[in-house]
Structure 1
Amino acid sequence: MDRVSALRRVGLVVLGVNVVLALAKGAVYLSTGSLAVGSEAVNSIADGVYSLVIVVGLYLTTQPPDTDHPHGHERIEPFVALFVAVGVFAAGGAVLWQAAQAVLSGGTTRAGPVAMAVLAGSAAAKYLLFRYCARMAETYHSPALRATALDNRADILTAGAALVGVVGASLGVSVLDPLAGGVVALGILYTGVEIARDNVGYLVGRAPSEELTDDIVERALAHPEVKGVHDVVAHHVGPEVDVSLHIEIEGERTLNEAHDIETDVVRRIREIREVDDVFVHLDPRELGEWKEGDEGGVPRGPDGQGQPPRAPPHSRSNSGRN
């Protein structure tokens, strides 16, 4: 399945499940008055609204490139995820306020087996959604789906907390119901923090992980004609990563040979799923812009092993690998 179809299908599945859960929890809340169940109903209603936003957002992000957006529309995804985070914060704050008021008033609500069954079913459904969304987010590198997965993971815990509160209230400890509502609210708020933290990084050009940067350097050095790599700059542009780097080659290479080397290095790096654009600058090795030993540089021998200290990702030599 292509990325466009996969993301849209996930959005619709999540929307459908959240609508069903919101209706079930809302019906139980209206019949029992349980604050824990009511908090979960608010959470599911919010999830349904955010799911609708995600469906629309994923529709926009999966549009093909055009003259105004030559690189496509994937950079909309972090904004969609941040919208989810704002809604999560609002829902969490409202539920926390309700829970605090109920605790102060003593909390006398009791709920029966139907409420327990709905909350247990909700936890199971959210677990399946979490696994599904996390797998699809990893497969298609989607920040919006990652945000949705994190939201569903938190919902597993909040549904469990609400279930504990309902069981406790049914056993006569009625204050456990609003206390469980408070735990649900804190879980909702923590999810909002996680979503915002991840996606603000995408929008402000955060550097990718050290592992990804190392992979970029290793792929460049894997070409037998590349003698060194330096000035590696990788940063997020939306959910994708743009890369620029300098590679050193022998100065006597012809223009055609140099072009072939550059093309092959770009191809190798673009094979990394997260990478979008790659910009390679060719330096004749004889210019000496990168000197072995500078900034901890490590010459590598034919066996691929170097001597300490290890070179930082932005400056490595490939001398001796031929």
Structure 2
Amino acid sequence: MSRRGTLRRVGLLVLGVNLVLAVLKGAVWWTTGSLAVQSEAVNSAADTAYSLVVVAGLYLTTRPPDFEHPHGHERIEPFVSLFVAAGIFVAGGAVLWNAGTALLSGDVAVTRGPTAAAVLVLSGTVKYGLYRYVRRVGRERNSPALIATAVDNRNDILTAGAALVGVAGASLGFPLADPLAAMVVAVGILYTGVEVVRDNVAYLVGAAPPAELRREILRRALDHPQVEGAHDVIAHYVGPEIDVSLHIEVEGDLTLQEAHDIETAVIERIRDLPEVDDVFVHVDPKEIGEWKDDDEVERLADLE
């Protein structure tokens, strides 16, 4: 299946799962009066709302290129991820506020009863499966929005686990276990929100990709038998994809056709990397002395 079809399918799956869980938790809360399940129902309802935005965002980012966006619309995707991060911060802040308020007031309400515990276990199990699946597809398809969604699903596992800790604590005579566990989880949730923002800001500001990928780009250029050197190798994120530009040195007595063929071969080899969107290669005759020391190229070469 194409990247567009895969991302849209996964987005709809996440939306459907969150909707079902919100309805199920709401029904259990209605019948049991459990405050822990009520908070989980609200959390799932919020997840459903942001999932609608993610589905809309994935629809926009996976549209084919057009006249106004000749490189496609993938650059919208980091903004979708930042929206997910905002939802993560809200969820973490709400959990921290509720837990702190309960501790300070001493009014600690915990979940009791097998039905409430069962829905929390079911929620955690479903979210774990969804987290693993969405993270795998997000990495395979290089989708920041899906990776951010996977992180949010991981947070939902933690919140369900915190509620279960509260149930166990109450059963053992330690009702404060619920808000204490929730505060630890809230800190973890807020930290993952920082991770999502950090990763996606890098996409938006044109940060360089990892050194391993830059080294592979350089290796593919130098592997051509007629390329004798390279300099000004620049790779940077443009949205979730990477644009590459570099100069290669070749023999100066080559014909224009031969130089063009070398350039094309180097471009195609680098563009075969799934992370790379576009490649710009400038061909320099080595005899004219345009070659210059390039510390970045030397550093990457030394890492091999």
Cα-to-partner distance string for 1:83-137 (whole Å, 9 max, x where unaligned):
1111221222122211211122221444211121111111111111111111111
Query: Cα 1:192–1:33, aligned 2, differ >3 Å: closer, same or farther?
Result: farther
Give the CA deviation at 1:17.
0.8
Show the counterpart of 2:54. 54
Query: Partner residue of 1:159?
Result: 160
Partner of 1:279: 280
Alpha-carbon contact 1:228-1:249 (below 8 Å) kept = yes
Q: Which structure 2 residues correspond to residues 28-47 of structure 1 after superposition, within 5 A?
A: 28-47=28-47
Residue 253 (1) aligns with residue 254 (2): yes
1:311 aligns with 2:287: no
**What is the alpha-carbon distance in structure 2 between the residues aligned to residue 211 and residue 71 of structure 1?**
25
Structure 1 Cα separation of the partners of residues 294 and 88 of structure 2: 45
Worse overlay, 218-227 or 99-108 = 99-108
Q: Does 1:101 align with 2:101?
A: yes
User: Which residue in the other structure is 2:66 paired with?
Assistant: 66
What SS does structure 2 have at the residue aligned with 1:174? coil
Structure 1 runs (4+) greater than 6 angstroms displaced:
none
- 1:32 and 1:109 in contact (8 A); partners too: no
| Counterpart AA for 2:122 | G
Matching of residues 141-156 of structure 1 within 5 Å? 141-156=142-157
Q: Is the 8 A contact 1:34 1:109 kept in 2?
A: yes
Determine the structure 2 residue equivalent to 1:263: 264
Q: 1:5 and 1:296, CA in 2 relative to 1: closer, same or farther beyond 3 A?
A: closer
1:243 aligns to what SS in structure 2? strand
DSSP 3-state at the match of 1:312: helix
State the aligned residue count.
301
Task: Look up the equivalent residue of 1:287 and give its one-letter code.
Answer: I
Aligned equivalents of 2:256, 2:172: Cα separation in 1: 82
TM-score (norm. length: structure 1): 0.87
Aligned to 1:8: 8
Q: Is structure 2 residue 223 aligned with structure 1 residue 236?
A: no
1:20/1:218 CA distance change after superposition, 3 Å: same
Match of 2:226 in 1: 225
Correspondence for 1:170 = 171
Structure 1 residue 78: Cα displacement: 0.2
**Aligned-partner Cα distance in 2 for 1:133–1:8:** 12
1:128-207 → structure 2 map (5 Å cutoff):
128-207=129-208
Structure 2 CA distance for aligned equivalents of residues 88 and 164 of structure 1: 21
Q: What SS is found at the alignment partner of 1:311?
A: helix
Amino acid at match of 2:261: D
Matched residue of 2:225: which SS? coil
TM-score (norm 2): 0.92
How big is the shift at 1:21?
1.6
Q: Secondary structure at the match of 1:224?
A: coil
Cα contact 2:64–2:73 (8 A) shared by 1: yes
**CA 1:35–1:288: 2 relative to 1, 3 Å:** farther
- The residue type paired with residue 254 of structure 1 is T
Matches of 1:132 and 1:281 in 2, distance apart? 41
| Unaligned runs of at least 5 residues, structure 1 | 298-309, 317-322
Question: Which one-letter code corresponds to 2:281 in the other structure?
Answer: V
- Residue 30 (structure 1) shift: 4.3
Q: Secondary structure at the match of 2:299?
A: coil
What is the CA-CA distance between 1:31 and the residue it aligns to?
Answer: 4.4
State percent identity of aligned pairs.
66
Match of 1:303 in 2: none
Contact 1:155–1:188 (CA<8 Å) still a contact in 2? no
Q: Name the stretch that deviates more: 213-222 or 109-118.
A: 109-118
